[in-house]
Amino acid sequence: MNFEHTEITIRERNYLELMDLALQLLRFHCWGLLLTLAVGAIPLTLVNFWIIPEIISSGAEWDTLNAYSWLLVLLMLWEAPLATALMTLYLGQITFTRVVDWNRLCRDYIGSLLQLLWFQAILRSLTACLLLVGLIIPHLAWPYLSEVILLERNYFVSYKGKQITTWRRSRNLHRHILGDLFARWLGTMVTGWVLVTAILLGIQTTAGGLFGIWFTSSTIVQWYVPLAGWLVIGFFTIVRFLAYLDLRIRREGWEVELVMRAEAARLARVAA
């Protein structure tokens, strides 16, 4: 890792500054970020196309289009940590090395897959089944769990209590900041809905105004809602990654640690 010349300046930022910085990262690393998002999102989108009609056909009281829309949104929110895992690893590499080692990225992903499936798939599913608001609890209580799993690579189980586990690390990181997390979650939801609506209206207006093609509601829901949804989820994955770094800076003085590591690396080169 290059601690002296990171891709972004490591310092405290407010949430609006984090969103602005996310746009800058998206501008400079657009193709790599879109590629890692597509690799994670396309297979899950195909699964959704198969799952949702089966669910709707089992309930005669459902209004089909509304049911499809809501089930699609819920599934995408549940799948988001799995779909954006490669994107998070990509962000971690470009932040400190400025180049991407795709072999290492794949190895890190495979090495984290067990914990990712347990915490972000099975545990979140159990939470959603047991509690009415189970789908939003992970976003409020431990929103940076994916970053802890993918970037910090802690132990899944502690042997004799000597190693720090992923769950313990997550609890320590998110402790006593529920109010701030709730405010950021609320802002993310509002901004996300606005962005999805803007993308859908932009697609419809562009297709109709330039090419005379006006999509039906079913076409928009089936094809363009997933496209707009994954693009917005991808953008807020960048924001969440930056917010995770910001949280470590605020709570752990991480920028000081990086300065000390950079100085140690410089002195080691001088000595050599």
In a domain, 1, yes or no: no
- Element (H or E) spanning 197, and its range? helix 178-211
Give the separation between CA 195 and CA 188, rounded to whole angstroms.
Answer: 10
- Collapsing DSSP states into helix, strand and coil, what is residue 164? coil
* Gap between the terminal Cα atoms of the chain: 18
In a domain, 4, yes or no: no
Q: For residue 84, what is the DSSP state?
A: T
In a domain, 5, yes or no: no
Per-residue pLDDT of the chain (272 residues; tens, 9 = 90+): 555 566 777 788 888 999 999 999 999 999 999 999 999 999 999 998 888 776 555 544 456 777 788 888 888 988 999 999 999 999 999 987 778 889 999 999 999 999 999 988 888 877 766 655 556 677 777 889 999 999 988 888 877 667 788 888 888 888 888 888 888 888 898 999 999 999 999 998 888 888 888 888 778 888 899 999 999 999 999 999 999 999 888 887 766 666 666 566 666 667 76
In a domain, 30, yes or no: yes
Give the separation between CA 11 and CA 5, rounded to whole angstroms.
Answer: 14
Domain with 25 in it: 15-271
In a domain, 262, yes or no: yes
Q: Provide the whole-model pTM.
A: 0.88
Question: Is there a contact between 66 and 222 (Cβ–Cβ < 8 Å)?
Answer: no
Domain count of the fold of the chain: 1
In a domain, 3, yes or no: no
In a domain, 2, yes or no: no
In a domain, 194, yes or no: yes
- CB contact burial 233-262 (16+ within 10 A = b; e otherwise): bbbbbbbbbbbbbbbbbeeeeebeebeeeb
